[in-house]
Amino acid sequence: MSSSHFAYWPKRVSKSLTIPEATLYDNLVVSAKRYPNKTAIEYYGASKTYKQLLQEVDCLAGYLEHKLRVEPGERVMLFMQNSPQYVIAFYAILRVRGIVVPINPMNTTHELEYYINDCEIKTAIIGQELSPQIEPLQGTSGLKHLVVASYSEYLPAMPLVTDLAAEMIAPKKVYENDHIFYWEDAIHAELTPSSYEGKPEDTAVLPYTSGTTGLPKGCIHTHKTVQANVVGSAVWMNISANAVNFSTLPLFHVTGMVHGMHTPILTGSSMVMLTRWNRNHACKLIEKYKCSHWVNISTMLIDFLGNPALNTDDIKSLENIAGGGAPLPEAVGEQLFQLTGLKFVEGYGLSETIAQTHFNPPDRPKLQCLGIPSFDVDARIIDPITTKQLNVGEVGEIVVNGPQVFKGYFNRPEETNDAFIEIDGKQFFRTGDIGRFDEEGYYFIVDRVKRMINASGFKVWPTEVENLLYKHPAIQQACVVSKPDEKRGETVKAYVILNPIYSDKVNEEDIIEWAKEHMASYKYPRYVEFIDKLPTTASGKVLWRTLQEAEWNKVEQLKE
């Protein structure tokens, strides 16, 4: 392990952290005792204190336990957009010692069916606008109970902005379904849950990721693995109870989950929450609530800074802007610095590490850089084939050992075993990302071992998209690759061989429109190209990398 990065470690910050022997729910209890009347959540003009937040968490927990019979260790789906209800539901599941399964609200019925079956989900807590996607699965899977929430229940009579999305202002729906339960009823029942016996070693959350097979896998995270990054982010980013966190990243995603929800709750600071990203709303709310800390993604920041209505005075309260998911273009970083005097602090992590394993030092960040290893993280570069350890400037696979590393993939012992390697008597997680570190110990990403498309920070797995495309009767064969995209960084392209009988019946746009209806919006191919045959090996394996390289070479040739 190189220790050169310690030379640039933030001043006044310890180089190691002791992780509390407490659970995430304990964090909420402590903050509610310390700051009962302090605002926990600001939601478009409506406020909720820590005392109120804890009360509603316990009420929903009582309902889950006594009415819906959720048991300790049971996996409960959380399928909802950012909202006060998301936070309440997450902590209520933890309160009954359940396991949160956070799912991207853009997923379709077909995609949801996989998660429900994989995790044996019996109960789901959802936003009501998502009921059409999940309600059909109540009769065809193990899913029994839906708790449905409408965001409008938590909005003020006169929201601070007038152009909210339709699903946010929609009134509560009434369902003719005995197995759908209403959020309002659950809270007002005021059922008291059993005494809390949670342990740091309990599994807390199963965020899903994907591997080279393309099938999503649940990452087993205990309270302790999550706490490592929650406490680490609070210390690294200097977040105190007086901080005001702008929570704009989706909370189902590990970065949003840790930085937009868990860290504020640990510190007793406020969350200013957006359900849907809107750069005009963002500007207004930062100014109104004097937001100090904002963890985002580069595409979000690019859009925000591109707003012609942006006034520097409106965002002068910001003290720290950080993010990850995709590198921030150097020109945008310079623009941010000119506007605010702040340098963008990039980090790096995965679902398997519940967000960061690397962070740039806030007072000495480098652009388009993963940063230096976080608290108690041993990061190394190895040759992905020989596993030989590499040195400064040499390119290889990034492997990490640290307190935030997951315990394995849910119900997948072989894939768990393959994900780790032993070095010097320690277990290291193989990230699948190709990188290097410089003489100062800063890490940079170069490429990916895994076949993954990073579209605006969302991970798209080509095999999964291909499997869905094969459901179209006109498609005989498909190969999905990434295509450079000015806005998204990368986007999705599908090379398609048509079944002969459809050759004159469908066009590329037809396939795109079909895919848009059958896949999450971040997954579906934005480009389709019909071809007669795919490049293959002698054994018939598709040479996807050949198509991938050709796609990126087109861009390079245009530059020349």
Domains of the chain: 453-559 (3.30.300.30)
Dig out the tokens for 141 from the structure.
């899977």
Q: Identify the pLDDT of residue 212.
A: 45
Helix (H, G, I), strand (E, B) or coil at 497: strand
Dig out the tokens for 369 from the structure.
């850089």
Task: Enumerate residues 6+ apart whose C-beta is below 8 A from 168.
Answer: 151, 152, 155, 275, 276
Is the Cβ–Cβ distance between 137 and 110 less than 8 Å? no
Q: How far apart are CA 257 and CA 275, in angstroms?
A: 14
pTM score, whole prediction: 0.86
Q: What type of residue is 3? A: S
Dig out the tokens for 418 from the structure.
């393959």
Q: How far apart are CA 234 and CA 238, in angstroms?
A: 6
Q: Identify the pLDDT of residue 452.
A: 77
**DSSP characters for 449-471?**
SS--EEETTEEE-HHHHHHHHTT
Is the Cβ–Cβ distance between 50 and 29 less than 8 Å? no
Task: Enumerate residues 6+ apart whose C-beta is below 8 A from 223.
Answer: 22, 23, 24, 94, 198, 199, 200, 201, 202, 204
Give 237's Cβ-side CA count (13 Å radius).
38
Q: Which helix (H) or strand (E) holds 296?
A: strand 293-297
Q: How far apart are CA 444 and CA 372, in angstroms?
A: 9
Q: Which of 246, 245, 196, 198 is nearest to 226 (CA)?
A: 198
Dig out the tokens for 478 from the structure.
């498909």
| Percent helix, strand and coil across the chain, each to the nearest 5 | 35, 25, 40
Q: Which of 65, 69, 121, 52 is nearest to 96 (CA)?
A: 65
Dig out the tokens for 510 from the structure.
């037809």
Beta bridge partners of 399: 380, 430
Is the Cβ–Cβ distance between 216 and 208 less than 8 Å? yes
pLDDT along the chain (560 residues), means of 10: 83 94 98 98 98 98 98 98 98 98 94 95 98 94 96 97 96 95 98 98 93 76 98 96 97 96 98 96 97 92 89 92 81 88 94 97 91 97 93 95 98 95 97 92 81 82 83 89 88 92 93 94 94 75 84 73
Is the Cβ–Cβ distance between 81 and 209 less than 8 Å? no
